[in-house]
Amino acid sequence: MQELHDAPLAPLTTFRLGGPATRLLTATTDAEVVAAVREADASGTPLLIIGGGSNLVIGDKGFDGTALRIATEGFTLSGTSLELAAGETWTDAVARTVEAGLAGIECLAGIPGSAGATPIQNVGAYGQEVSSTITEVVAYDRHTRETVTIPNAECSFSYRHSRFKAEPDRFVVLRVRFALEEAGGLSAPLAYPETARAMGVEQGERVPASAARETVLKLRAGKGMVLDPEDHDTWSAGSFFTNPILDAAAYGDFLARVRERLGPDVAPPAFPTGDGRTKTSAAWLIDRAGFTKGYGDGPARISTKHTLALTNRGGATTEDLLALAREVVAGVHAAFGVTLVNEPVTVGVSL
Q: Collect contacts of 129-136 with beta carbons under 8 A, ≥24 apart.
A: 129/157, 129/159, 130/105, 130/176, 130/178, 131/155, 131/157, 131/162, 132/104, 133/104, 133/105, 133/178, 133/179, 133/180, 134/176, 134/177, 134/178, 135/81, 135/177, 135/178, 135/179, 136/177
Determine the Cα–Cα distance for residues 150 and 222; give it in Å rounded to an integer. 37
> Least distance (Å) from ligand FAD to the CB of residue 253?
28
Determine the Cα–Cα distance for residues 2 and 219; give it in Å rounded to an integer. 38
Contact letters for ligand FAD, residues 66-95 (x by CB under 6 A): ----x---------------x---------
Of 20, 62, 116, 268, the residue at the interface with ligand FAD (CB under 6 A) is 116
Q: Are 301 and 343 in contact (CB under 8 A)?
A: no
Of 19, 20, 36, 55, the residue at the interface with ligand FAD (CB under 6 A) is 55
Nearer to ligand FAD, 18 or 52 (CB): 52
Q: Is 303 a catalytic residue?
A: no
Q: Is 239 a catalytic residue?
A: yes
Q: Residue 151: count other Cβ atoms within 10 Å of its Cβ.
A: 11
Handedness of CA 335, 341, 346, 351 (dihedral sign): positive
CA angle 90, 29, 229 (to 5 degrees): 35
Length of the chain: 351
Could you write out the DSSP letters of every residue in 67-94?
A: EEEE----EEEETTEEEEETTSBHHHHH
Our finding on whether 236 is near ligand FAD (CB under 6 A) is: yes
Determine the Cα–Cα distance for residues 258 and 284; give it in Å rounded to an integer. 11
CA distances from 292 to 24, 218, 307 (A): 38, 22, 6
Q: Is 160 a catalytic residue?
A: yes
> Least distance (Å) from ligand FAD to the CB of residue 246?
21
192 burial class (0-12, 13-18, 19+ CB within 10 angstroms)? Answer: middle
Our finding on whether 216 is near ligand FAD (CB under 6 A) is: no
Nearer to ligand FAD, 125 or 321 (CB): 125
Q: Which of residues 93-112 bind ligand FAD (CB under 6 A)?
A: 111-112
Residues 32, 129, 136, 343: which is the catalytic one?
Answer: 343
Of 17, 93, 173, 246, the residue at the interface with ligand FAD (CB under 6 A) is 173
> Least distance (Å) from ligand FAD to the CB of residue 130?
8
Distance of CA 274 to the CA centre of its chain: 23
Our finding on whether 348 is near ligand FAD (CB under 6 A) is: no
Our finding on whether 118 is near ligand FAD (CB under 6 A) is: yes
Our finding on whether 59 is near ligand FAD (CB under 6 A) is: no
Nearer to ligand FAD, 111 or 324 (CB): 111
Our finding on whether 36 is near ligand FAD (CB under 6 A) is: no
Per rule CB under 6 A, count of chain residues that contact ligand FAD: 32
Nearer to ligand FAD, 20 or 51 (CB): 51
> Least distance (Å) from ligand FAD to the CB of residue 162?
10
Our finding on whether 316 is near ligand FAD (CB under 6 A) is: no
> Least distance (Å) from ligand FAD to the CB of residue 258?
26
Q: Are 307 and 294 in contact (CB under 8 A)?
A: no
Our finding on whether 219 is near ligand FAD (CB under 6 A) is: no
Of 19, 20, 53, 127, the residue at the interface with ligand FAD (CB under 6 A) is 53
Instruction: Tell me 255's DSSP state.
Output: H
Residues 16, 23, 69, 160: which is the catalytic one?
Answer: 160
Distance of CA 160 to the CA centre of its chain: 7
Residues belonging to the active site: 160, 239, 343
Residues making contact with ligand FAD (CB under 6 A): 14, 49-56, 70, 86, 111-114, 116-118, 120-121, 123-125, 172-173, 225, 227, 234, 236-238, 345
